[in-house]
Amino acid sequence: MRAVTIHDVAAEAGVSAATASRVLSGHPATSEESRTRVTEAARRLGFRPNAQARSLRTNHTNTIGLLLSDVRNPFFADIAHNAEQHALESGIATLLCNANESTEQQDLYLDLLLSQRVAGIIVAPQGDGAGSLREVLTLGVPVVFVDRTIDGVDVPSVTSDNRSGITAAVAHLAGLGHHRIGLVAGPQETSTGRERLEAFRQAIAEHGLDDDPDLVHLGDFQVTSGARAANQLLDLAQPPTAVLAADSLMTFGVLEVLRERGIRVGSDLSVVGYDDVAAFRWFSPQLTVVAHDPARMGALAVDLIREVLDGRPARSVVLESSLVVRESTGPAPGAGSVPHPAGRQ
């Protein structure tokens, strides 16, 4: 079963393949006559240009690679959906690649994307920029970092401001009288993990709160590490009165442990989650979270790729992140009367 080629269309229209090609790709040097005949013939035969053949000749594809950690994480799912929809608007197809937080699999996928000669790669990078990633950059394939960056690697990126949200969260908790705040930090191999931890440490210092190293646990952005961290925090001789988690999955892990232990969120223990995942809004009590905007990140990443492809100067974007106060944060137990956080000063 051979597919319809441009030669078939040309024959049907009674013109040469060259003319058929010109008509179908909108080249101006075509007569009204051939335009109608070719268009008609293409429609009749159901002609679909072979993307491989076209790419081979023109040396550019209508495909981009989207290399994320895991689409089962709602944060990345949001990025993926919006990137893909935005790409489709420009007729660009999206190759989905889940690296699963594994540098080996990231390299495997980068190789595959290079073989596919994708027009650009959007990646939430893993590791230190060694391996295939360095090679991709020297090859000149347009790359845009999304969510994360890598130190010393100069690539346009779309990230969230990882500091402001954490700073606001600590200020909010300090205002509620909390002195011992636990942090379930992200892996220090990622820029987001590092920046959020650093912002936390700085905010703790600024507010003069306990900076007990036992209050900080390094997780891996997965549910189980959040649960493990929560257990360790709660088992401390002096447990924290508030907990902050550095991504949505670890937040889920924390909440799971609190439920198992019968600890009431918001009153017994204040919790600040990360990412304004829809599921958090259905949680009871509704979660106070650090919110950012994965949907815009996905769309913007595609924009940046297209700008680089068009030869426009590369730019990076840092999106706002902010604290959304809901019901999971309350006054520190035993802290006495504290002014309402939303009250004056």
**Of 98 and 157, CB closest to a copy of itself:** 98
Say if residues 332 and 338 touch (Cβ distance below 8 Å): yes
Nearest-Å Rg of the Cα atoms of the chain is 26
Give the footprint of a copy of itself on residues 22-61 (CB under 8 A): 46, 48-53, 55-56, 61
Residue 95 touching DNA (CB under 7 A)? no
N-terminal to C-terminal alpha carbon distance within the chain: 75
Gap between the Cα atoms of 336 and 262, Å rounded:
23
For helices 162-175 and 191-206, what crossing angle results, to 10°? 30
> Is the distance from CB of 318 to CB of 304 less than 8 angstroms?
no
The two three-digit tokens of residue 261, written as one number:
């232990």
Supply the minimum distance, in Å, between the C-beta of residue 306 and a copy of itself: 17
Taking the complex as a whole, the smallest distance from the CB of residue 284 to a copy of itself amounts, in Å, to: 6
93 contacts which partner out of a copy of itself, DNA, none, CB within 5 to 8 A by kind?
a copy of itself
7: contact with a copy of itself by CB under 8 A = no
- Residue number with CB closer to a copy of itself (145 or 252): 252
55 CB-near residues (< 8 Å, 6+ apart):
61, 62, 117
Secondary structure (DSSP) of 277-332:
-HHHHHSSSPPEEEE--HHHHHHHHHHHHHHHHTTPPP--EEE--EEE--SS--PP
11 binds DNA (CB under 7 A): no
Using DSSP's 3-state secondary structure scheme, residue 42 falls into helix
Q: Determine phi and psi for 294, rounding to 5 degrees.
A: -60, -35
Q: According to the binding rule CB under 8 A, does residue 311 interact with a copy of itself?
A: no
CA distance 254 to 244: 9
- Does the protein bind a copy of itself through residue 221 (CB under 8 A)? no
Q: Is 16 near DNA (CB under 7 A)?
A: yes
Task: Name the one range near DNA by CB under 7 A: 24-32, 216-224, 258-266, 325-333.
Answer: 24-32
Q: Which stretch binds a copy of itself (CB under 8 A): 7-15, 24-32, 249-257, 332-340?
A: 249-257
128 touches a copy of itself by CB under 8 A: no
Which of 16, 17, 35, 135 is in the footprint of a copy of itself by CB under 8 A? 135
Nearest Cα neighbor of 324 from 285, 276, 280 is 276
Spatial distance between the Cα atoms of 152 and 127, rounded to a whole number of angstroms: 12
Residues 6+ apart with CB under 8 A from 131: 103, 106, 107, 110
Pick what 108 binds: a copy of itself, DNA, none; C-beta below 5 to 8 Å, kind-dependent.
Answer: a copy of itself
Binding mask 51-80 for DNA (x = CB under 7 A): --xx-xxxx---------------------
Q: According to the binding rule CB under 7 A, does residue 45 interact with DNA? A: no
Residues that bind a copy of itself (CB under 8 A): 1, 3, 46, 48-53, 55-56, 61, 63, 66, 70-72, 74, 77-78, 80-81, 84-85, 88, 91, 93-98, 100, 105, 108-109, 111-117, 135, 139-140, 223, 252, 255-256, 259, 278-279, 281-284
Interacting residues with DNA (CB under 7 A): 2-7, 14-19, 21-22, 24-25, 27-31, 33-34, 47-50, 53-54, 56-59
